[in-house]
Structure 1
Amino acid sequence: MRKPLIGLIGMVIITGCVATASEEPSLPQAATLTNPSVETHAELQQAIANLLGASRVVISDNAFTQYSQEVIERAPHKDANGLLIMGRSTDIPDAVQLLKQGDSCLLQHVQSGKAITLSQVRCKLEDAQ
């Protein structure tokens, strides 16, 4: 009578461990955009602006379609006539990375580690180079 009970308890414990392990969230992995559109482009620009604390950010139409990371530089200073003001910029560019975690796509500021979950963007794991 004790042997079947011990076996049953062992099976319950093993099943519980397997169920718990499979429910753990996966680690975010580098990803690329699969549904580029006007809407996703706008969402990416807004998310980057939020991560960087900027009022507005401009990215290319093909951002995140080939690579998971983009480098964001500050716009150069211009005078009232629109001409570049000479001088050296010592600002370090910011990097942002598109990540896939489970079924969600995230945008992460690489330097700070802050991330935003994207609602319109669909992504796939980045191809190994």
Structure 2
Amino acid sequence: MKAITILTLGSMLLLTGCQSGAAAEPAVLVAGGAEVRQQLNDFITSIVGGNTVTLADDVLQQSPELFIEQRMPLDSQGRPLDGRHQLPSYRFVLVKAGDSCILQHPGSGKSVRLNGARCQTVAR
């Protein structure tokens, strides 16, 4: 009976160790191209309320975080509206989970798996 208990506990520890190795880690893009950039654009556009965004060709290749500033509402003469000077930015984080690259929006809890993307983890 003790042998079964020891084997069961050992198996549980082994499985726990395997699962913790698949945790999502901050990452940067290594390869992607136009298709990946389009997936990024579509996801970000859905989060920012349909406003179009322009992403650089090297987006998420230097840092796992991406900040998108909100467009400041302007009056008819192009001046910022009162009380609208400190709009928070949208924050996105690229993570690697197993072989998948995933873009997360921590503010909403939404994420998207980037098909065809390759990424590598970065030191924290």
Q: Counterpart of 2:105 in structure 1: which amino acid?
A: H
Q: Please list the CA deviations of residues 49-77 of structure 1 after superposition, one character each: whole Å capped at 9, or x if unmatched.
A: 22333253221111100100011013456
SS of match in other structure, 1:47: helix
Tell me how far apart the structure 2 counterparts of residues 78 and 52 of structure 1 sit (CA, whole Å).
18
**Equivalent position to 1:42, from 22, 28, 38:** 38
Which residue number in structure 2 is paired with residue 13 of structure 1? 8
Q: Which runs of no fewer than 5 residues in structure 2 stay unpaired?
A: none
Q: Does 1:74 align with 2:70?
A: yes
Tell me how far apart the structure 2 counterparts of residues 75 and 55 of structure 1 sit (CA, whole Å).
9
Tell me how far apart the structure 1 counterparts of residues 80 and 18 of structure 2 sit (CA, whole Å).
54
**Equivalent position to 1:62, from 58, 61, 80:** 58
**Equivalent position to 1:30, from 26, 34, 58:** 26
The number of residue pairs the alignment matches comes to 120
TM-score, normalization: structure 1?
0.74
Q: Is the 8 A contact 1:74 1:93 kept in 2?
A: yes
SS of match in other structure, 1:34: strand
| Correspondences of 1:102-113 after superposition (within 5 Å) | 102-113=98-109
Which residue number in structure 1 is paired with residue 79 of structure 2? 86
Task: Give 1:33 shift.
Answer: 0.2
**Equivalent position to 1:122, from 103, 118, 121:** 118
Tell me how far apart the structure 2 counterparts of residues 122 and 53 of structure 1 sit (CA, whole Å).
27
User: Hey, which bits of structure 1, 4+ residues long, moved more than 6 A?
Assistant: none
SS of match in other structure, 1:41: helix
Tell me how far apart the structure 1 counterparts of residues 47 and 30 of structure 2 sit (CA, whole Å).
22
